A = this chain, B = another copy of it.
Amino acid sequence: MQIDIKQPVLAKNDRLAEELRQLFAEKHVYALDLLASPGAGKTSTILATIDALRDEFNIAVIEGDIASNVDAKKISAQGIPAVQINTGGACHLESSMLKKAVEALDLDRLDLIIIENVGNLVCPTDFDLGENAKVMILSVPEGDDKPLKYPGIFQVSQAVILNKIDTLPVFDFEVERFEEALNQLNPTAPLFKISATSGLGVDEWASWLAEKIRSC
């Protein structure tokens, strides 16, 4: 019964996602869909990425949240256009929501749109937003067993960011065990180990992303 319900919703989503994908390609805008648990550091990673790339690229951010606009405010405070989507309860963004947000942006002036999805390791994996890449962030305090428990999100991600590596001494997180599990699920995804708040490791991640933006 669940399948009957899900399919038509996904089909409609995928049609709109395809339209968005074409629009992004036409305008040479790279769209990055950022996925993570609540509190893994999505907004901090976006701020660090903006810092690293704003001299070369024009960036905008679309913030997906159940409620509130605290994240959009943090982005706007950096002089970067930010559009807030409140899903009103939905656990993920859908392409219909994204379409409205994109319409509020001037795509001719942009090189990169970073989409901060709702904090959730499950639901957002099923929804194509027409993005160029889904990238996920795991943070050290969440534990190294997450690939075993939430395999789907690790499989759909083109790259994986391990955030809060400055807290490795405080938590029982074995980086090697995590890398092995990740490698089994997704052998081609690069892993970037960063501390978004201190800037540690951000350069490597930003270089990877810059390369993608330039060639899109």
Residues of chain A touching chain B, judged by Cβ–Cβ distance below 8 Å, are: 1-2, 5, 9, 37-39, 65-68, 70-71, 89-91, 118-123, 139, 141-143, 145-146, 148-152, 164, 167, 170
**Stoichiometry (number of copies):** 2
Instruction: Give the residue of B38, B70, B71, B170 whose beta carbon is less than 8 angstroms from that of A167.
Output: B170
Pair A167/B149 contact, Cβ less than 8 Å: no
Instruction: Write out the residue numbers on chain B whose beta carbons fall within 8 Å of the beta carbon of A151.
Output: 66-67
Q: Give the complex CA separation of A170 and B123 in angstroms.
A: 30
User: What's the dominant secondary structure at chain A's contact region?
Assistant: loop
Q: List 13 A-B contacts (CB under 8 A).
A: A2-B9, A5-B5, A37-B38, A38-B142, A38-B146, A38-B150, A68-B148, A91-B123, A118-B122, A119-B150, A141-B167, A167-B167, A170-B170
Query: With the chains together, A125 CA to B39 CA distance in Å?
Result: 18
